[in-house]
Amino acid sequence: VAAEQTSTGTQGTPGTKARTGLSPDDIVDAALALLDREGLDGLTMRGLARELDVGTMTVYGYFRSKDELLDAVIDAGAKRMEPERPAGPWKAQLRELWLSIRQSLAEHPGVIELRFKRPIVSPGALELTEAAMQILRDAGFDSRTAARAYRILFIYTFGFSAFGPKESSLADSERTKGAISALPADRYPALREAAEEAAAAMGDSGLFEFGLEMLLDSIERLGEDASDEL
């Protein structure tokens, strides 16, 4: 791990073009910023090099390929989510944990694109796993149940960010309602009848918590069932 200074641009003294003064972390940081700003499609090796004010091929001196760079970006993006362990009962802890993850993913949609394209296990990504597993184990769940519950919560939260309502959902909601209204009523009766609600559910901002609560309640019940058997 390099303890390099923050780059914040290369406004180095004019005429000093001997070194770029670049560290791998600088490159990853710039890539993460570019990903946030322009999405995965906008994160190109050429664009990144332009951003860093170096030749395109310079980046290849630090990462052997774009894939290798992306793996480092995923790790950095996961670390940025910083899953902290709050106090309180386990259910409240899990709720707060996943709400903060959801919040982070909503703010950085590029991270989801990345983790969809390159699923990977890196130390940074496993921090979340560790935090959730600790809470579940301390709540008394056995390893197997805890692991499965974690996985379900992970899938739900990342799935919501990938396939749930988007931030700018006002237009989407209207578009959905329009599309439903245009359907033939004889083939889509239930949908036509609930057009308003279906469109609203598209953009419902409380929807994430709604589903999260379902899962937390079910997980709680898993524990109760196990207790009953004692």
Partner DNA sequence: ACCTGAACACCGTTCAAGT
Question: Where along the sequence are the contacts to DNA (CB under 7 A)?
Answer: 10, 12, 16-22, 43-47, 54-58, 60-61, 65-67
Two structure tokens written together for 95: 């709720």
**C-beta of 114 vs 202, nearer to DNA:** 114
From candidates 167, 178, 185, 226, binder to a second copy by CB under 8 A: 178
Q: How far apart are the first and last CA of the chain?
A: 49
75 Cα distance to chain centroid: 11
Two structure tokens written together for 44: 């190109």
Overall size of the chain counted in residues: 230
Give the CA-trace dihedral at 28, 34, 40, 46, to 10 degrees.
Answer: -80
From candidates 62, 106, 207, 223, binder to a second copy by CB under 8 A: 207
From candidates 18, 121, 170, 230, binder to a second copy by CB under 8 A: 121
Q: For residues 34 and 120, what is the distance between their CA atoms, to the nearest angstrom?
A: 21
Does 24 bind a second copy (CB under 8 A)? Our answer is no
Q: How many CA atoms lie within 13 A of 204 on its CB side?
A: 14
**C-beta of 8 vs 168, nearer to DNA:** 8
In angstroms, give the least distance from the CB of 172 to DNA: 22
DSSP state of 13: P
Binding footprint of a second copy on the chain (CB under 8 A): 1, 3-4, 113, 115-116, 119, 121-123, 126-127, 129-130, 133-134, 137, 143-144, 146-148, 150-152, 154-156, 158-160, 162-164, 166, 175-176, 178-183, 187-191, 193-194, 196-198, 200-202, 204, 207, 210-211, 214-215, 217-219, 221
